[in-house]
Amino acid sequence: MDKKLNCWEVMKCGREPGGKNVGAEGECPTASTTQMDEVHEGVNGGRACWVIAGTMCKGKGCGSYASKISDCKECDFYKRVWDEEGNGKTLLHPIDLLKIYLMSNKK
């Protein structure tokens, strides 16, 4: 099976560690959210970006899961992960993803 790609590899935003846009725009929180490492076989939050606050989508900053999920569901990357996870069959439920993300941020 092909390697599953992270959002920054597909979207080519350049905000991954060492990316071309990190200096000007900063590193994306998805790339540094280590508690999400290996979720959906990704690196850090790279395959669960829709639950991570502060990502950049379509050139603008996005807020919390609740405020951005409707846009995320229209995103080509989200649709790709959905497909690669058996049309959602192995996609972790948003509540479970949020638990992983939020609970480890309380430390």
Residue spans of the domains in the chain: they are 7-105
Tell me the per-residue pLDDT of 28-85, one tens digit each, with 9 for 90 and over.
Answer: 999 999 999 999 999 999 999 999 988 888 777 788 888 888 889 999 999 999 999 9
Single out the residue of 68, 93, 77, 94 nearest to residue 42, CA to CA.
77
pLDDT tens per residue across span 93-103: 989 999 988 87
Q: Which residue has the tokens 């959602």?
A: 88
